[in-house]
């Protein structure tokens, strides 16, 4: 356990509005953490606090076992890539990337230039060293900003919504590149995003925030499979939330849907008798042909299709089943096309996940 960045008890208030409260987070050396959450949840503020651009009202910060809480930004060895890129318009691309090395005065000038050029190479920006920011496309500017952030080998690399200004295709490509870059350089990284697919794709650890607090923290798979709260289930991946009543049955558990339909539940230590919320991912629901075998662990019930949206590879169905409204994302194929008023749907019992947390 090599804690590289330790955030303890950090809080921040703007006027009467509490933006962050009681934030505790430790990041290991070389770990890639994404701060994920809706607008206003405090993720950018937390990032800026780590950078030294905001002063916390409570709590402490340490980087590489050194207390940096009272250090100005230039004294912490962190790099921040701004959402607006903040490229210096009066300097060339190479000069922009060289700037952190100049300020830190660590190497002689020729070596600074070499290192800057190498960083630009790493982000796959060729032959643009002498251009100026205004002559570059958005995607190119973003790479320059990235090169500038990694060139000085910071203790912590901070990225503030680095891909949000790019179009969808470019964003996808950059996600792969960022992941590859992280593997190559092994920098401790904190990335802020409101895009949950981005968070899942890049992170070693996803930190989900809401209303100034950390709501769920864990590996992407863990957080996706067990969101533990309605908010997390909805924010990450979007899901059906079912209000069911749990009852014991012989050796196991089952749940009763509003119209009385009984469905089996997979064993889970969090189950208890009484009303409970459950998550069912849209892609977990599949169409089961009438009378067909659905498989051992599966649950099958009757449903009525209310609307269909053809999405290409998949089809979205709005269903009514068990007295509830459900949304399913099924593969487009002969079964989907045949769907009309009455169908039979199925899911694996383990896909009906309890949500014990509130909200």
Partner 1 sequence: MVGAAPRWMAPVALAFVAAIAFFMLVPLAVVVASSLSSSEFLVFPPRGFSLRWYGAVLQSDAYLAAAWTSIRLAVLTVVISLTLGTMAAIALTRFAIPGREAIASLFLSPLILPSLIFAIGLLMVFSIYGDGPSFTGLVIGHVVITIPYVVRTVSASLVDMDPNLDEAARMMGANWWQRYGLVILPQCRAGMAAGAFFAFNISFDDAVVALFMRAPSVETLPMRIYSTLEFSPNPSVAAVSTIMIGLTIVLVIALDRAFGLGKIM
Partner 2 sequence: MLIAPGLIFLVLAFFFPALQMLGLSLIGEAGGLTLEHYAKVAVDNFYLGVAWRTLRLALVITLACLAIGFPLAIVIQRSAPAVRAALIIMIVLPLMTSVVIRTFGWLVILGPGGLLSWTLQNLGLISSPISLMHTETGVVIAMVQVLLPFMVLTTLGSLSRIPPDLDAAARTMGAGFFRAIGHVTLPLAIPGLLSGSLLVFALSISSFITPSLVGGVRLQVMATSIYQQVTGSFDWGFAAALSVLLLLVTLALVVPYMAAAARAGGRG
Residues that bind partner 1 (CB under 8 A): 52-55, 69-73, 75
Angle (CA) 236 242 244, round 5°: 145
Select from partner 2, partner 1, none the partner in contact with residue 70, using the beta carbon and a kind-dependent cut-off of 5 to 8 Å: partner 1
Site string for partner 2, 151-190 (x = CB under 8 A): -x--------------------------------------
Q: CA geometry: angle at 142 spanning 136 and 145, to 5°?
A: 105
Assess contact for 208 and 37: CB atoms under 8 A: yes
State the minimum distance, in angstroms, from the CB of residue 134 to partner 2: 10
Concatenating the DSSP letter of every residue in 199-254 gives: HHHH-SEEEEEETTEEEEEE-HHHHHH---SHHHHHHTT-EEEEEEEEEEETTEEE
Cβ–Cβ under 8 Å, residues 151 and 98: yes
Question: Is residue 38 within 8 Å of 11, Cβ to Cβ?
Answer: no
Which CB, 71 or 257, lies closer to partner 2? Answer: 71
Binds 82: which of partner 1, partner 2, none (CB < 5-8 Å by kind): partner 2
Spatial separation of the C-alpha atoms in residues 51 and 64, rounded to whole Å: 14
Which is closer to partner 1, CB of 86 or CB of 318? 86
Q: Looking at 1, 17, 39, 89, which residue binds partner 2 (CB under 8 A)?
A: 89
From the list partner 1, partner 2, none, pick the one residue 89 interacts with, judged by a Cβ distance below 5 to 8 Å according to partner type: partner 2
Cβ-contact 196, 43 below 8 angstroms: no
- Rg from Cα positions in the chain: 25
* 271 binding partner (options partner 2, partner 1, none; Cβ < 5 to 8 Å by kind): none
Looking at the Cβ atoms of 54 and 177, the one nearer to partner 1 is 54
CB of 316 closer than 8 Å to CB of 329? yes
- Min CB(325)–partner 2 separation in Å: 45
Candidates 21-29, 71-79, 213-221, 286-294; binding stretch for partner 2 (CB under 8 A): 71-79
Options 2, 67, 70, 103; binder of partner 2; rule CB under 8 A = 103
Per CB under 8 A, the list member of 17, 65, 90, 137 interacting with partner 2 is 90
Strand 205-210 relative to strand 32-36: parallel, antiparallel, unpaired? parallel
322 touches partner 2 (CB under 8 A)? no
Residue 148 contacts partner 2 per CB under 8 A: yes
217 CB-near residues (< 8 Å, 6+ apart): 25, 205, 206, 207, 208, 223
**Given 19, 20, 21, 51, the residue binding partner 2 (CB under 8 A):** 51
């Amino acid at each position: 356990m090599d804690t590289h960045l330790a955030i303890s008890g950090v809080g921040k208030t703007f006027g009467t509005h509490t933006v962050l409260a009681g934030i505790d987070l430790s990041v290991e050396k070389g770990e890639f953490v994404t701060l994920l959450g809706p607008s206003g949840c405090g993720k950018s503020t937390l990032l800026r606090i780590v950078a030294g651009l905001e002063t916390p009202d409570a709590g402490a910060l340490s980087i590489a076992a050194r207390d940096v809480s009272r250090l100005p930004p230039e004294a912490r060895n962190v790099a921040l890539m701004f959402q607006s890129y903040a490229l210096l318009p009066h300097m060339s691309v190479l000069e922009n990337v060289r700037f952190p090395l100049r300020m830190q005065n660590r190497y002689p000038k020729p070596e600074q230039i070499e290192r800057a050029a190498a960083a630009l190479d790493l982000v796959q920006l060729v032959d643009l060293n002498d251009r100026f920011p205004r002559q570059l496309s958005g995607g190119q500017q973003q790479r320059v900003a990235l090169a500038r952030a990694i060139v000085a080998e910071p203790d912590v690399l901070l990225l503030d919504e680095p891909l949000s200004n790019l179009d969808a295709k470019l964003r996808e490509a950059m996600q792969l590149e960022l992941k590859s870059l992280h593997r190559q350089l092994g920098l401790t990284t904190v990335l802020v995003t409101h895009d949950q697919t981005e968070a899942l794709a890049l992170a070693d650890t996803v930190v989900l925030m809401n209303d100034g607090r950390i709501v769920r923290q864990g590996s992407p798979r863990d957080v996706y499979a067990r969101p533990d709260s309605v908010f997390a289930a909805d924010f990450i991946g979007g899901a059906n939330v079912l209000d069911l009543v749990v009852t014991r049955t012989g050796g196991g558990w089952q749940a009763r849907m509003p119209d009385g339909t009984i469905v089996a539940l997979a064993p889970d230590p969090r189950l208890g008798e009484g009303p409970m919320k459950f998550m069912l991912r849209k892609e977990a629901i599949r169409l089961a042909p009438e009378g067909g075998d659905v498989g051992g662990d599966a649950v099958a019930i009757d449903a009525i299709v209310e609307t269909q949206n053809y999405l290409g590879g998949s089809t979205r169905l709005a269903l009514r089943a068990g007295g509830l409204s459900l949304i399913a994302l099924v593969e487009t194929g002969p079964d989907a096309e045949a769907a009309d008023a009455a169908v039979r749907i199925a899911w694996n019992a383990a896909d009906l996940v309890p949500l014990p947390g509130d909200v």
